[in-house]
Amino acid sequence: MLVLVAPGQGAQTPGFLTPWLDLPGAADRVAAWSDAIGLDLAHYGTQGDADAIRDTAVAQPLLVAAGLLSASALGAVAPGAVTPGAVAGHSVGEITAAVLAGVLDDTAALTLVRKRSLAMAEAATVTRTGMSALLGGDPEVTIPHLRKLGLTPANVNGAGQIVAAGTLEELAALEADKPEGVRRVVALKVAGAFHTRHMAPAVDVLAQAAADLSPADPTISYVSNKDGRTVGTGAEVVSRLVGQIANPVRWDLCMETFKELGVTALIEVCPGGTLTGLAKRALPGVQTLALKTPDDLEAARELIAEHASA
């Protein structure tokens, strides 16, 4: 069985959209999305420097657009095509996955993620917060230690990878008092403590935006970051998309569900690499492929033909 996954914030790099815009119809499609959300995606995806595309308000729509563009080029979700057995996304990648599962259309998804990104960027200005990755350690030891310091394990990614989030003072305390077994604490270049209580103001904004949506039920198994479970209705997918911005990402549980579903191959849409890296460590024996440029499409199609269902 094939799983199609979409990465989250931090996967973007300067110029990563450039080769995808050379595909037939891609530039026109991106231009239409840009007009719909009031953000020049092509500019940021081809000319934006690292600081420009690190901005939450830019990074999130750009990642969803790239994911949708590469998935479309792959042909994995076209009507009548071979399809994955399940889809999932990490953080903002969940919105990409909602399109791949047939819950939202492209324009609705890009409109929602634009509002999400602006709301989260605004929430991040209320308190000086951040996120840090912990290298090494046992989650059963690390997570209680983080909570003792007032921090949230905002991303529990599996394969021993945890990202802590909270105020800058709490993160400084973590530097001085690392959990047993953790080798290093690495500050991440993000604007705030995403997937924590600090994002609560953005939840209300996104809930209002989501009220205008008309989601369809998933046509492919949709695996949620909330608890790693599959979600059966479009309304529940959207409800989880709203609440998830203030709750931890449990990618470890998503990968456990992939195992239960019988995954044999995993493809990560553009800009791929992060989630395939986790899968290589947590899902031994599963074939993985990251879509980075259109040059990866042929190998991905071969993997789909071998592992997907008609």
pLDDT of residue 252 exceeding 70: yes
pTM of the model: 0.95
Residues contacting 34, CB < 8 A, separation 6+: 40, 41, 42
Q: Which residues does residue 230 pair with via DSSP β-bridges, in sequence order?
A: 223
What is the greatest pairwise CA distance in the chain?
A: 56
pLDDT tens per residue across span 157-177: 998 889 999 999 999 999 999
pLDDT of residue 245 exceeding 90: yes
pLDDT tens per residue across span 26-48: 999 999 999 999 999 999 999 99
Q: Can you tell me the distance from the alpha carbon of 94 to that of 60, in angstroms, rounded to the nearest whole number?
A: 11
Task: Show the domains of the chain with their CATH numbers.
Answer: 2-124+197-307 (3.40.366.10), 129-187 (3.30.70.250)
Helices (H) and strands (E) in the chain, counts: 13, 10
**Distances in Å between the alpha carbon of 185 and those of 27, 141, 195?**
40, 15, 19
pLDDT at 78: 57
Catalytic residue among 70, 91, 132, 224: 91
pLDDT tens per residue across span 66-91: 999 999 999 855 555 658 999 999 99
Burial of residue 176, with CB atoms counted within 10 A of its CB: 0-12 exposed, 13-18 middle, 19 or more buried: exposed
Q: Band of the pLDDT at 291, cuts 50, 70, 90?
A: very high
Alpha-carbon dihedral sign for residues 260, 182, 268, 55: positive
pLDDT at 76: 58
Catalytic residue among 195, 198, 221, 307: 195
The mean per-residue pLDDT over the stretch 10-22 comes to 96
pLDDT at 81: 60
pLDDT at 79: 52
The answer to which of 35-39, 80-84, 178-182, 238-242 has the lowest mean pLDDT is 80-84
The mean per-residue pLDDT over the stretch 108-135 comes to 96
Q: Is 133 left (phi over 0), alpha (psi -120 to 50) or beta?
A: beta
pLDDT of residue 215 exceeding 80: yes
pLDDT at 83: 80
pLDDT of residue 186 exceeding 70: yes
At 161, is the secondary structure helix, strand, or coil? strand
Long-range Cβ pairs for the range 272-281 (8 Å, 24+): 272/7, 272/11, 272/296, 273/7, 273/11, 274/7, 274/8, 274/10, 274/11, 274/90, 275/5, 275/7, 275/90, 275/251, 278/157, 278/158, 278/159, 278/161, 278/251, 279/255, 281/158, 281/159, 281/160
Owner of token pair 């020049």: 40
For the question of residue 91 being annotated catalytic, the response is: yes
pLDDT at 310: 47
Q: Can you tell me the distance from the alpha carbon of 54 to that of 184, in angstroms, rounded to the nearest whole number?
A: 23
What whole-number percentage of the chain has pLDDT above 90? 92
Q: Which residues of 274-300 are buried (b: 16+ CB within 10 A; e: fewer)?
A: bbbbbbeebbeebbbbbbbebebbeeb
Decide: 248 and 156 in contact? Cβ < 8 Å. yes
The mean per-residue pLDDT over the stretch 50-66 comes to 96
Owner of token pair 């990251």: 290
| Mean pLDDT, the chain, integer | 94
